Structure 1
Amino acid sequence: MNPQHIRCRRPGPRAHSLEAARGGRIRSGPPARSRLGFSIGSSISCRYSLLALLSRMSTPESASAPERRAAVAAEALAAEGLPVTSRAVRARAGVSMAVATEAATTWNEREAAQAHIPEAPESVTARFSGIWREAYSAARDLFASERETLTGRLRVVEEDNRSLTADLTTSDGRVAELEAELERVRTDAEQAAASAAAAHAAELSAERSRGDRAEGALGAVTTERDRLLRQIEAARPPAAG
């Protein structure tokens, strides 16, 4: 495998090694030569290079070249924040799927074992229990105070609700009374209008009848007048010649 390249800061190889061991990306500084035999100054991160180197150191000498490449690829994927899967290892290392699967499984099992969280010490548990008791007591007192305050507010709201309900009942009764009175007024108005219309119709009919009779009498008087005028004309002596 070709040596990995690291870009690090000054001063000196020891500071470079410490900074690389912390997993940081180290930049700038003139190219130098480390004691491990790889140059300092390329664009690959220190963490990736160290992880790859540690993987090579931890891989048994009996391991084949594909297995070493797969192990280095798994560490590189993890250093870059990518998921370590069989397909990713295979694509990165260019090995068979069986070798990639074994390398990915080994890396994930090792990470799972390292991620195990041990039980808390007894001193920490005792301190946490004390903090929990204090927090629980404070929360209980706060809850009791808030409950009392909210209970008082609830009583006020219930009293207001009863008062508003009574007012609403009174208003509903008054509205019903006004609606009944309005209905009576409307009925009376309709009846009065009907009576007035009937009276006007009767009066109009009577006036029309009187008019007809007066017209008939006028016709009779006119006829009698014409008859009398003709009689007068007939009885008048003829004028002297």
Structure 2
Amino acid sequence: MTDSEVRLDLRGEVAELVLAANAIDLDAGRQLAAATERLTRTDARVVLVRAEGPHFCVGGDVRAFAAHEADLASYVGQVADVVHAAHRHLAALTVPVVCAAQGAIAGAGVGLAFGADLVLLGRSAKVRLAYTAIGLSPDNGASALLPRLVGPRRALELALTNRTLTADEARDWGLATAVIDDSALLDEARELAGRLAGMAPGSLAATKRLILSAANRSRDEQLDEEAGAITALAATGSARQAISAFARR
């Protein structure tokens, strides 16, 4: 794998994290971790995660795993460590993260795709965990994300049986925001990212934080958090301008 196979493209206020190879070996994982770390230091207002080619990400490179049979546990552990570093970098972002995914979404690719805030799937998308098919267990946040998104019963079905979901099924289960023809996927994702980039960043950051952290608080605690956030935003110039513009309609 070459350095160009995981890259950051800056398009105005949108940063695109682009995968040009769909299987993750140790080198690819290191590149992904480095690219996502750079993301945490950009001024981008939105991040778009996407992949080139017919597939989004099939997860770990099983051929690379097989080539390290003698030190398999060490090698898999190193891959998991760097992929999880990338996951943590993306999860720490306060800006919206949009994912556009087509073709195979499997293994660690599940955590990469569905860890995003908004997920657009191409009609070709197929979702499959696949870990138990090779005697392994979920990584890259799948065991945390799936129960929250689809419930523990369906999460167990996906993880234990390796059931494959179509794009429409993934949307109906709550994994995806929308399903789009593959030919229009990138344009739709960039339009969405651009629209978000034009919104007040403080409002988006507070909204994302409130929704993603709500499960860790009681109702009363969440009400207090909401009151504090909306009061702080009301003190900003961007909120005053937006409210004035809305009132003049």
Which protein, 1 or 2, shows the higher relative CO under an 8 Å CA cutoff with sep ≥ 6? 2
Higher helix share: 1
User: Larger Rg: 1 or 2?
Assistant: 1
Normalised to the residue count of structure 2, the TM-score between the two structures is 0.21
Higher strand share: 2
| TM-score (normalizing by structure 1) | 0.22
